[in-house]
């Protein structure tokens, strides 16, 4: 199995319009149209942040019927006036079942997803929650050829580093090691738990 890698970052927002304005304010560029996830009742916008990574703005799709299960990324708990935020991240693997089996915490149930001609497997907690306040990633295995990042224009935004703060950083470090994380991530002690992403942009380094 190849080393796991950051696939994408997840920014939750009450609407895509609010999320797009947030990304433009923070990074100086607008994300691209994505699509809808019928199974989850959500839709998204995307921004390329590297050769095989991207940022996703995701929100409840008001035009979609309510799904039969809780939505992912804790979106059901997001209030209408909530501010967009970096909620969690998604780790790419080529063997999602093996990764879920060796994880020291439950990563959820593996479900098959699609958007247009893209298909993937992703582990989602049955209650749709964030795992360890978002510091444990969701895990994904792409089934289709290609990757969303390869289809997005390069706007000059590059993910430099993902930083995590947690009151029990040793616990998170053990988890990340078990998942085989080898990307540019740093971990430090602090409370409340939170994620911070650093980007190179056309306007200089930006952090959120």
pLDDT values of the chain reduced to their tens digit, one per residue, 208 residues: 566 899 999 999 999 999 999 999 999 999 999 999 999 999 999 999 998 999 999 999 999 999 999 999 999 999 999 999 999 999 999 999 999 999 999 999 999 998 888 999 999 999 999 999 999 999 999 997 779 999 999 999 999 999 999 999 999 999 999 998 876 789 999 999 999 999 999 999 999 8
Q: What's the predicted TM-score (pTM) here?
A: 0.96
Q: What is the dihedral of CA 198, 92, 109, 77, to 10 degrees?
A: 20
The dihedral built from the CA positions of residue 70, 72, 74 and 79, taken in this order, carries a sign that is negative
For 5-151, the fitting CATH number among 1.10.600.10, 3.10.180.10, 3.30.479.10, 3.40.50.2300 is 3.10.180.10
Q: Which of the 8 DSSP states describes residue 141?
A: E
- The residues spanned by each domain of the chain are 5-151, 158-207
Tell me which residue has tokens 């799709």: 61
């Amino acid at each position: 199995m190849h080393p796991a890698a950051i696939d994408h970052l997840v920014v939750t927002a009450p609407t895509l319009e609010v999320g797009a304005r947030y990304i433009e304010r923070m990074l100086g560029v607008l994300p691209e149209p994505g699509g809808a996830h019928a199974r989850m009742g959500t839709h998204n916008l995307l921004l390329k942040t590297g050769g095989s990574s991207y940022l996703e703005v995701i929100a409840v799709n008001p035009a979609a019927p309510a799904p039969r299960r809780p939505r992912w990324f804790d979106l059901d708990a997001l209030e209408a006036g909530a501010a967009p935020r970096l909620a969690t991240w998604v780790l790419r693997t080529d063997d999602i079942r093996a990764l879920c089996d060796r994880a020291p915490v439950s990563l959820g149930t593996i479900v098959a997803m699609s958007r247009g001609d893209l298909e993937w497997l992703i582990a989602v907690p049955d209650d749709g929650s964030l795992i360890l306040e978002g510091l444990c990633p969701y895990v994904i295995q792409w089934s289709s050829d290609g990757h969303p990042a390869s289809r997005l224009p390069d706007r000059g935004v590059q993910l430099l580093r993902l930083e995590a703060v947690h009151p029990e950083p040793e616990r998170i470090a053990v988890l990340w090691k078990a998942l085989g994380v080898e990307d540019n991530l740093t971990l430090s002690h602090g409370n409340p738990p939170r994620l911070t992403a650093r980007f190179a942009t056309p306007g200089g380094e930006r952090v959120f």
